[in-house]
Amino acid sequence: MQKTRRLGAIIALATAAFGMASTVTAAPATAFPRGPQPVSNWLQSVRANTGSWVTIQWRTDRPVCDAEVQVRGDRVRVDYPGFRRSATFSRGDSLRPGRTDFTRVRVTPYQQRPGVTRLWATITYDECGFRARTQTRTAALSLPVLRNTGPVGQGGPGVPGYGQPGGPNHGGPGAPGHDGWGEGPQGPQGPRGPQGQQGTGQSGPGGNQGGTYN
Give the tens place of pLDDT for each residue, 70-101.
999 999 999 999 999 999 999 999 999 999 99
Q: Single out the residue of 104, 26, 22 nearest to residue 58, CA to CA.
A: 104
Is 138 a domain residue? yes
Q: How confident is the model at residue 38 (pLDDT cuts 50, 70, 90)?
A: very high
Q: Under DSSP, is residue 20 helix (H, G, I), strand (E, B) or coil?
A: helix
The domain that holds 70 is classified in CATH as 2.60.40.10
Is 173 a domain residue? no
Is 46 a domain residue? yes
Q: How far apart are CA 210 and CA 48, in angstroms?
A: 77
Q: Give the residue numbers spanning the domain of 126.
A: 37-146
Q: Are residues 93 and 67 in contact, defined by beta-carbon separation less than 8 angstroms? A: yes
Total tally of structural domains belonging to the chain? 1
Does residue 188 have a pLDDT over 70?
no
Residue 112 CB partners (closer than 8 Å, separation 6+): 48
Q: Single out the residue of 109, 188, 169, 111 nearest to residue 141, CA to CA.
A: 109
Is 132 a domain residue? yes
- Residues 174-186: tens digit of each pLDDT: 444 444 444 445 5
What is the model's pTM?
0.56
Q: Are residues 184 and 194 in contact, defined by beta-carbon separation less than 8 angstroms? A: no
Is 183 a domain residue? no
Is 156 a domain residue? no
Is 170 a domain residue? no
